[in-house]
Amino acid sequence: MTNTDVLTFTQGRIGRIRLNRPKAIHALTHDMCSAMIAALLEWRENPAIEAVLIDHAEGRGFCAGGDVVMLGKSGASDGALARDFFHEEYRLNHLLFTYMKPVVAFMDGITMGGGVGISQPAKCRVATENTRFAMPETTIGLFPDVGGGWYLSRLPGRVGQFLALTGARLDGAECLRLGLATHYLPAAALDDVKAAIGDDPQRIDEILRDASAPAPEARIDANLEQIDRLFASDDYEEILAALEADESKWAQKELATLRTKSPQACKVSLRLLYDGAGVQDFAHEMRQEYAVAARVVQRNDFAEGVRALLIDKDNAPRWSPATPEGVSEHMIDQIFAPMPEGEEWTPLAL
């Protein structure tokens, strides 16, 4: 294939998708999403292909997200390229979610944003000692998309809300503990595991089970009670008030973290998880997230977040509204309104 940023090939009875953009920590582009969709559709109809593996080539991460700088530039103009990207990326997410053949994703290294979107739909999600999982979108005025409203809202207790708001990073053991990963393997074992699956894809579960190692203690266990108690509300101001009233070092650290995030993005994220918890159809979730993304990408906070973090790198975003109180329910309702007829997100024909 011509797009060398993602390599798609077959190995025996499996299809292989290998992200190959190491200088960008394999961040996804529109063309990469299109190439993955084309391969998955071809393998779906090929009886000789029994399973699919998704991993990355060289570098320290599985996938750091999407092409955020492009999204920022597009959002600052007419938003058309951003909408095209989200439409294609979400089609890929949905295709993986509904794929009938087993998919194994190797979350070895940084797995954030778009990397979450292509790993969470997989039947088997492999974490290692290198895994660093996060949905840090509120830092740049965005929200945990690519199915975040579905996946995060289904985590134990209030962990999903905590992760969505703070962008906290999880290691591999924590991913296993929370169900974000299904297996924990030493990174040194991955090549042999991939080869074994290629030789006999009918034994995926057995191969992964035999290669699994005991995970270290999940650090997040020590904070679950505080997370459930202090992040209990779906009202952002109430969460801030709970943290302010708690004098523990942990609460004050998380409060300081939230003070750096976009108030609009935090309220959008809470609404997304609240709604997503009741959604029973993943296509519906993707349709809603597309409407939200299409609007948020053209609002001030996204452009300002990209500027502060990735362009000027002054880490001093000027959010507007600057306070949670300034983000009205009407503003959030407008962001979540359905797209106009003919502009909605649509899944691939299955």
**Catalytic-labelled residue, pool 15, 66, 117, 160:** 66
Q: Catalytic residue at 225?
A: no
CA 223/CA 228 separation, integer angstroms: 9
- Decide the pairing of beta strands 110-112 and 51-56: unpaired
CA 283/CA 169 separation, integer angstroms: 27
Distances (CA, A) of 73 to 52, 141, 303, 307, 310: 34, 14, 8, 10, 12
Q: Catalytic residue at 145?
A: yes
Burial (CB < 10 A; 0-12, 13-18, 19+), residue 117, is buried
What are the tokens at 211?
């290669």
**SS3 (DSSP) at 26:** coil
CA 292/CA 275 separation, integer angstroms: 12
CA 97/CA 245 separation, integer angstroms: 41
Alpha carbon distance, N-terminus to C-terminus of the chain:
24
For tokens 């034994």, name the residue.
Answer: 203
Please give the single-letter amino acid code of residue 81. Answer: L
E strand or H helix that includes residue 239? helix 236-245
**Catalytic-labelled residue, pool 65, 72, 113, 114:** 114
What are the tokens at 63?
């996938």
**Catalytic-labelled residue, pool 50, 88, 137, 285:** 137
Closest by CA to 234, choosing from 200, 274, 192, is 274
Q: Catalytic residue at 326?
A: no
Q: How many CB atoms lie within 10 A of CB 5?
A: 17
Please give the single-letter amino acid code of residue 307. Answer: R
Q: Catalytic residue at 238?
A: no
What are the residue numbers of the active site? 66, 114, 137, 145
